[in-house]
Amino acid sequence: MGSFFGLVSFLLCALQISAEWNTKDYMKREHSLIKPYQASSMSIPNWDFMGSTMVTNNYIRLTPDLQSKEGAIWNTIPCNVKNWELHVHFKVHGKGKDLFGDGFAIWYAKDRMVGGPVFGNRDFFQGLAIIVDTYSNHNGPHNHQHPYISAMINNGSLHYDHDRDGTHTQLAGCEAKLRNLEHDTHVNIRYEKDTLTVSTDIENKAAWKECLSVKGVRLPTGYYFGASAATGDLSDTHDVISIKLYELDSPDDVQEDRSKILPSAAFFEAPRDHVDDVKPSSMSGFKIFLLMLFGTLAVIVLVVIGIMIYQKQQEQSRKRFY
């Protein structure tokens, strides 16, 4: 079983790599944010900014290393590319050695320029959030360290729970030591054929390292790209240096109209860090046991009935002989 899954994931990996090699990357300028930002006029073409966001020649500072700040930048043009790859060059740094926060998020969302509690963006959002959570709010034993990168898909019904660091609404995640580094740090969000893959380049190796990959993710077209960050009691500097959107659509793809669908994900990660969550999983184990029990009983009953019918037929055929 294990080797079967190993083989499958190896084949998927191989496919992924060949897909990456075959793709003709094409940067869409209207969804990208690159230097020079033209900050002189206090506005950036195709991008709006809000809150504590400050534009300089070399970076866009979403929050400074000060308490209780929120900032965001949002693309003004809805994205109608169905398959895409987004490269974000960022820098998280600050005075704090052990205490810093809260983190930042990269968005592909329906609503733009609405501040709120989810790293400077609204809660109950519709769309995709890639969350870089630098501060562990959860006091219980953690399965992972922070900073932690996770993906969340929301159709507007889910609340991002800071007390659990979002662990019970995330699709998947990974640890990433991305703070206070001398070299450049990048995150790559690839959305292709309903597979969402997040990779990082934070080890100064000029190569992507996979953080998470989830199949069965359905996102509508026509949403907006954005980035937001927040500080609270703890603080950090959250800078965005560039955002580059590459189109992965090929003209011969059969294009399904995705403009009206709600964001959805087929697979959620099993909830973690949550004591109450042990019960549902043992319940489902119990359900499986019951199902197997009933299945076995059903098979026995069918076999018994079968034997009875067979015997009856044998009897009748014997009767016919006499």
Ligand X SMILES: *[C@@H]1O[C@H](CO)[C@@H](O)[C@H](O)[C@H]1NC(C)=O
Residues that bind Ca ion (CB under 5 A): 133, 135, 137, 165
Single-letter amino acid, residue 298:
A
Q: From CA 121, how far away is CA 229, in angstroms rounded?
A: 8
Shortest separation between residue 234's beta carbon and Ca ion, angstroms: 10
Please tell me whether residue 145 adopts helix, strand or coil conformation: coil
Q: Are 32 and 225 in contact (CB under 8 A)?
A: no
Backbone angles phi, psi at 70, to 5 degrees: -140, 130
Please tell me whether residue 258 adopts helix, strand or coil conformation: coil
- Does 123 help bind ligand X (rule: CB under 6 A)? no
Q: Which stretch binds ligand X (CB under 6 A): 7-15, 135-143, 151-159, 196-204?
A: 151-159
The option from Ca ion, ligand X, none interacting with 155 (CB < 5 to 8 A, set by class) reads ligand X
Shortest separation between residue 159's beta carbon and ligand X, angstroms: 11
Shortest separation between residue 133's beta carbon and Ca ion, angstroms: 4
The option from Ca ion, ligand X, none interacting with 157 (CB < 5 to 8 A, set by class) reads ligand X
The option from ligand X, Ca ion, none interacting with 40 (CB < 5 to 8 A, set by class) reads none
Nearer to ligand X by C-beta: 26 or 267?
267
Q: Which stretch binds ligand X (CB under 6 A): 143-151, 153-161, 204-212, 302-310?
A: 153-161
Burial class (CB in 10 A: 0-12, 13-18, 19+), 128: buried
Q: From CA 115, how far away is CA 57, in angstroms rounded?
A: 25
Q: From CA 249, how far away is CA 109, in angstroms rounded?
A: 20
- Single residue of 232, 262, 271, 274 touching ligand X by CB under 6 A: 262
The option from ligand X, Ca ion, none interacting with 262 (CB < 5 to 8 A, set by class) reads ligand X
Q: From CA 193, how far away is CA 284, in angstroms rounded?
A: 31
Backbone angles phi, psi at 208, to 5 degrees: -85, 140
| Count of CA atoms in the C-beta half-sphere (13 A) of 282 | 5
Q: Are 189 and 88 in contact (CB under 8 A)?
A: yes
Query: Which residue, judged by CB position, is nearest to ligand X in the bound state?
Result: 155
- Single residue of 40, 41, 157, 317 touching ligand X by CB under 6 A: 157
Q: What is the DSSP letter of 262?
A: P
Shortest separation between residue 273's beta carbon and Ca ion, angstroms: 11
Shortest separation between residue 152's beta carbon and ligand X, angstroms: 10
Nearest partner of 90 among 206, 246, 201, judged by Cα = 201
Nearer to Ca ion by C-beta: 165 or 247?
165
- Single residue of 23, 46, 137, 155 touching ligand X by CB under 6 A: 155
Nearer to ligand X by C-beta: 54 or 262?
262
Residues making contact with ligand X (CB under 6 A)? 155, 157-158, 262
